[in-house]
Amino acid sequence: MRSTPILAVMAMLAGAAVMAWVWLFGAGSGEAAGIAQGRQLYAEHCAVCHGANLEGQSDWKRPLPSGRMPAPPHDASGHTWHHPDGVLFRITKEGPAAVVGDGYESDMPGFGNMMSDEEIRAVLAFVKSTWPERERAYQTEMSRREKDEAR
pLDDT tens digits for range 49-83: 999 999 999 999 999 999 999 999 999 999 999 99
Q: For the chain, where are the alpha helices, taking DSSP H only?
A: 3-21, 27-45, 47-50, 85-94, 96-100, 117-129, 133-150
Domain boundaries, the chain: 3-150
Predicted confidence (pLDDT) per residue in 5-41, tens digit: 665 444 445 444 444 333 344 446 688 999 999 999 9
**For residue 29, what pLDDT is reported?**
67
Q: What angle do CA 36, 40, 41 make, to 5 degrees?
A: 115
Q: In angstroms, rounded to a whole number, what is the distance separating the alpha carbons of residues 107 and 138?
A: 28
| CATH class (in words) of the domain with range 3-150 | mainly alpha
Question: What is the pLDDT confidence band of residue 45, given thresholds at 50, 70 and 90?
Answer: very high
Whether the Cβ atoms of residue 78 and residue 60 lie closer than 8 Å to each other: yes
Give the pLDDT confidence score for residue 102 in this predicted structure: 86
pLDDT at 144 over 50: yes
127 CB-contact burial (10 Å; exposed 0-12 / middle 13-18 / buried 19+): buried
**pLDDT tens, 88-139?**
999 999 999 999 998 899 999 999 999 999 999 999 999 999 999 999 999 9
Q: Nearest Cα to 30, choosing from 122, 140, 138?
A: 122
Q: How far apart are CA 148 and CA 35, in angstroms?
A: 26
